[in-house]
């Protein structure tokens, strides 16, 4: 595995010898990965290579999968998120998640965004933080006169931005995105990419994508994963996106990004 990442920047997430198991099957093996703050990191690779499994490990979403466990260590701002005394709910508050398919709740637009605030104990008038989150998600101008309408009434692209606003409302440090544009049309996809670039000024973003053009356009760093002979996912190469796409160290990376396999 090779890396061209700038090691002088303090990382916000650091995976050290991370392996992820489903029962006795090792789905991902021996990942070393440092995520830089306020950057967009893309994880690419063929289907089944563990991209989403790795992404979900960064905020312990894999805890919901029976018999899933990790070895190695993931630190967030220097703290091991899998330590016995760490509350995974607090981890997910600091490291939010946006899923592949938009999943607004069957509630009003306002209540969708306010949901995270309320479960975290905020009371009273939530109008200001809801508006702020919708503005950050570039959705406010489109919905400000329709906040009582169901979130399900929005278009696919709007629904995904609503889910981003819901994640932003609790003020996380990191936003994980698992193929957030795969169900969207090209115009909605470009809006999400523009939004990611704007959000990266204030947040760290990690995105799984199968779209090579999207990774090249939208990310600062790219990690390429593939599978070994035991069908375990492994990280082949990780570095600045411009380098990965123009001068990769490993032929497997070059073959994948040029469409020769995967």
pLDDT, residue 103, reads: 93
Q: Which two tokens stand for residue 171?
A: 């003020």
SS3 state at 94: helix
Q: Which two tokens stand for residue 2?
A: 């090779």
Helix and strand counts by DSSP (H, E) for the chain: 10, 11
Pairing assessment for the beta strands 174-178 and 204-208 based on DSSP bridges: parallel
Q: Tell which residue, 160, 131, 163, has the closest CA to residue 144.
A: 131
Burial 182-220, CB ≥16 within 10 A → b, else e: eebeeebbbbbbebbeebbeebbbbbbbebbebbbbbbb
pLDDT, residue 139, reads: 97
Torsion over CA of 80, 85, 88 and 89, rounded to 10 degrees? -130
Partners of 195 in beta bridges = none
d(CA 136, CA 150): 20
SS3 state at 113: helix
**Superfamily covering domain 13-101+173-257:** P-loop containing nucleotide triphosphate hydrolases (3.40.50.300)
d(CA 123, CA 117): 8
Q: Which helix (H) or strand (E) holds 194?
A: helix 186-199
pLDDT, residue 208, reads: 97
pLDDT, residue 5, reads: 52
Whether residue 20 contacts residue 27, with contact meaning beta carbons closer than 8 Å, is answered with yes
Q: Tell which residue, 188, 165, 164, 189, has the closest CA to residue 177.
A: 164
Partners of 205 in beta bridges = 40, 175
* Predicted structure pTM score: 0.93
Q: Give the CB-side neighbour count of residue 211, counting CA atoms within 13 A.
A: 20
pLDDT < 50 positions in the chain: none
Domain ranges (residues) in the chain: 13-101+173-257
pLDDT, residue 48, reads: 92
Whether residue 176 contacts residue 149, with contact meaning beta carbons closer than 8 Å, is answered with no
d(CA 165, CA 163): 5
């Amino acid at each position: 595995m090779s890396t061209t990442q700038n090691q002088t920047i303090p990382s916000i997430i650091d995976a050290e010898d991370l392996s992820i198991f489903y029962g006795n099957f090792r789905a991902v093996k021996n990942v070393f990965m440092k995520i830089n703050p306020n950057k967009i990191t893309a994880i690419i690779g063929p289907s089944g290579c563990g991209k989403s499994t790795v992404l979900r490990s960064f905020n312990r979403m894999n805890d919901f999968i029976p018999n899933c466990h990790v070895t190695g260590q993931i630190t967030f701002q220097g703290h091991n998120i899998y330590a016995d005394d760490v509350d995974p709910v607090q981890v997910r508050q600091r490291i939010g998640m946006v899923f592949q398919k938009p999943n607004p709740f069957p509630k009003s637009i306002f209540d969708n965004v306010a949901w995270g605030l309320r479960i975290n104990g905020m009371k009273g008038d939530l109008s200001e933080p809801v508006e702020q989150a919708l503005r950050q998600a570039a959705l406010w101008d489109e919905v400000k006169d329709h906040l009582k309408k169901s979130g399900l009434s929005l278009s696919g692209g709007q629904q995904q931005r609503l889910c981003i606003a819901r994640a932003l409302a609790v003020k996380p440090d990191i936003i994980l995105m698992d193929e957030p544009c795969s169900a969207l049309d090209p115009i909605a996809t470009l809006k999400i990419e523009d939004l990611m670039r704007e959000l990266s000024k204030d947040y760290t973003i990690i995105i799984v994508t199968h779209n090579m053009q999207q990774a090249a356009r939208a990310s600062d760093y790219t990690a390429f994963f593939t599978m070994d002979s035991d069908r375990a996912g492994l990280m082949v190469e990780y570095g600045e996106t411009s380098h990965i796409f123009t001068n990769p160290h490993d032929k497997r990376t070059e073959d994948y990004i040029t469409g020769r396999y995967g």
